[in-house]
Each structure stands twice: as C-alpha cells, then as structure tokens.
C-alpha cells in the first residue's frame, strides 16, 4: 500500500544564506543550496525517508529535472509526474541564520493544457482504484488551472473510498474544503482568509475549525506558528506546542506536519498521539535544510517534549495576530 502525493506546482527551491539580511542595500551571501521542492514533493520525500511507500504525481516541467530525478531515485519514490514543456519554477528562500528569519520569493510556475488537466484527473482516478489509501493534495494552484481542481480531485478520491489530506490556500482551499477532505490543514492566516475575519484567540480559531468539521471533514489542524497547532476532531480540541529547537530554516515545516499527520494515521494513532507526532515532525524539520528530517532518535526526543493541552476557550493567546506568526509557518 502506497501513499500518493499530488504537486501541481513543484519548484526548484534555492536557499540563499545571508546574515543580517537587509532591504535596499547590498547583501553578501555565504552559501547557496538547491533542492527539488513543492509542498507535495516535500511531503513525499519526508514520508519516504520515514519508511513509507510513496507515489508522487502532478505536473513537472520536462527541462532541468535532475534534482527531481535524483530525489525520486534516492528515496525510491514512484515518479508518476506528468511532464509538460518548460522548466520547473524556482522558489527563492533567503535564510538569515543570525535572526532565524526566512524570506520567500516564489515564481508562478507552468500552465498545463486542458488535455494535461484531463490526464491528471485520469491519473488520480487510476491511483484511487489501486491499493492506495491516503492521498495528499498540497501546494498552490499554477496559473491557468481552475481553483476548483482540488475539489474535483477530492470527489474522485472520495468516490473510490479513499482518504485525502488538503493543504493549500486561497480559492483552491475554499473549493477543496467544500468537497470535504478527510483532513484539512490550513495555517492561521489561510483560515482567516477563508472565514473573512481575524482569528485572534484559540476560541475563535477553534470555532472556525469546528465549522469545517460540521461539513464532513474528520480532522482539522490549524497551524499557529510559534503558538503551536490546534487539533480538532468531533470529540476533542487540543493544542500541541513544540519544544524550542535550533532553527536552520522554517521552510517546509508545514509539509513536515502533514507528513507526520499521515504517518500517524497509517499507525492508527489517537488524536493526542497524532498531534504529538505531527508536531515533532514539524519541529524536527526546521532544524534541517531541504526535505529531510534528522535521525529518528532526535525526532523521538522532540516528540517526547511536545506539550499537549486542551484548547483554552478563554485564553487570548493569539492577540498579536496572524501577521506575527509567519516566522514559523507550520
């Protein structure tokens, strides 16, 4: 049994390392690292490294694919990407190790044709008919693709009786949530955009999350940056807070949380154990560059230090607002 990840807009992620990065002046970089990226690709890499069989699909430019080919071969990921003409987009990450802040610049990506869109629908339908229980739809929608695409694919997957995780934003999130994925993982800013008003307390975020549960979603995970993450199902509401770790880069923390969530589901863990593992994956990821986790014993040590507590309906812990949480985009 494999886990399927879908990445409609993969990227070559280039991380530039600059101490004391400043705008409107000359900055001297001291290192540059490139790796195959995109949310679904990152999730596939992390799950494969954790011992899961993974199928990766989506759209991938047919030029300059060496980093992707190398990743899929090294991690033994089943590459079922549909190649389209052009080069994968580039995502530039400026990592300031001194301030532990990361600035991201993401280019738009390639636009598939209607025939290629039909091909990805057919691919998902075929994979859903096989022995694949979990599907992860992650990342933004490239230009020219209708925002309804995730909703359409979720309907195909659900019709086959399989489970699906949605991690996206904007209109793609809105249409995707309407199709009731099994798990939804918005961050706080994405959920604010969805509901149309600020969520400045755990109570407000939990209320918005429970509204999603009422429409058929089984588990909602709301990333709250430095405040941890809120986990909601029909029986419980709890907050998981990671321990302090040495940050290399916050890029990919949310992808690691999705990976941990799915790993927990495949193990049949309850909500508390799932929250602990997913949060440990996210915290461990920010100690590493690229789409890797540290050694298993380090992840386990972090998991033991994750704090789990009930959602506090009275405590206004998010009073600084979502804009202050972007340093740790779990």
Place of tokens 């590459």: 79
C-alpha to C-alpha distances, 214 to 64, 199, 217, 220, nearest whole angstrom: 45, 19, 7, 11
CA atoms of 220 and 67, how far apart (whole Å): 33
Q: Cα–Cα distances in Å, from 201 out to 79, 198, 210?
A: 42, 9, 14
What is the secondary structure of 87-100 as a DSSP string?
PPEEEEEEEETTTT
Question: What tokens were used for 189?
Answer: 């800013």
Phi, psi of 229 (to 5 degrees): -145, 145
Q: Which two tokens stand for residue 39?
A: 């949310």
Q: What is the largest CA-CA distance in the chain?
A: 55
What is the rounded CA–CA span in Å between residue 150 and residue 152? 5
238 and 271 in contact (C-beta within 8 Å)? yes
Q: Helix, strand or coil for residue 295?
A: coil
Active site residue 233: no
Cβ(99)–Cβ(250) below 8 Å? no
Q: Residue 101: in which H helix or E strand, if any?
A: strand 101-106
Do 167 and 138 form a contact (C-beta atoms < 8 A)? yes
Which one of the listed residues 255, 270, 305, 316 is annotated catalytic?
Answer: 255
The two three-digit tokens of residue 237, written as one number: 């509401």
Number of other residues whose CB lies within 10 A of the CB of residue 330: 31
- Residue 323 DSSP class: G
Residues annotated as part of the active site = 255
């Amino acid at each position: 049994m494999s886990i399927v990840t879908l990445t409609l807009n993969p990227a070559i992620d280039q991380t530039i390392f600059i101490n004391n990065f400043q705008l409107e002046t000359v900055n001297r970089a001291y290192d540059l690292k490139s790796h195959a990226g995109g949310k679904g690709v990152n999730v596939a890499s992390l799950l494969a490294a954790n011992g899961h069989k993974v199928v990766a699909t989506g759209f991938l430019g047919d030029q300059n694919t060496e980093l992707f080919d190398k990743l899929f071969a090294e991690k033994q990921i089943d590459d079922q990407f549909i190649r389209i003409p052009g080069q994968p987009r580039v995502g530039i990450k400026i990592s300031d190790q001194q301030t532990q802040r990361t600035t991201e610049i993401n280019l738009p990506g390639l636009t598939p044709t209607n025939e290629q869109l039909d091909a990805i629908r057919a691919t998902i339908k075929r994979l859903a008919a096989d022995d694949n229980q979990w599907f992860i739809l992650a990342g933004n929608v490239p230009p020219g693709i209708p925002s309804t695409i995730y909703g359409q694919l979720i309907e195909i997957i659900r019709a086959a009786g399989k489970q699906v995780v949605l991690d996206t934003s904007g209109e793609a999130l809105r249409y995707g949530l309407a199709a009731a994925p099994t798990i939804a993982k918005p961050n706080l800013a994405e959920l604010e955009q969805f509901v149309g008003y600020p969520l400045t307390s755990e109570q407000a975020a939990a209320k918005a999350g429970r509204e999603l549960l009422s429409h058929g979603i089984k588990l909602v995970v709301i990333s709250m940056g430095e405040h941890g993450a809120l986990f909601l199902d029909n029986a419980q509401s709890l907050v998981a807070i990671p321990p302090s770790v040495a940050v290399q880069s916050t890029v990919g923390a949310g992808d690691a949380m999705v990976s941990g969530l799915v790993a927990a589901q495949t193990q049949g863990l309850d909500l508390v154990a799932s929250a602990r593992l997913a949060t440990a994956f996210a915290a461990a990821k920010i100690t590493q560059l690229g789409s890797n986790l540290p050694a298993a014993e380090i992840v386990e040590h972090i998991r033991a230090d994750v704090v789990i507590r009930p959602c506090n309906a009275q405590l206004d812990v998010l009073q600084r607002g979502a804009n202050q949480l972007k340093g740790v985009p779990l």
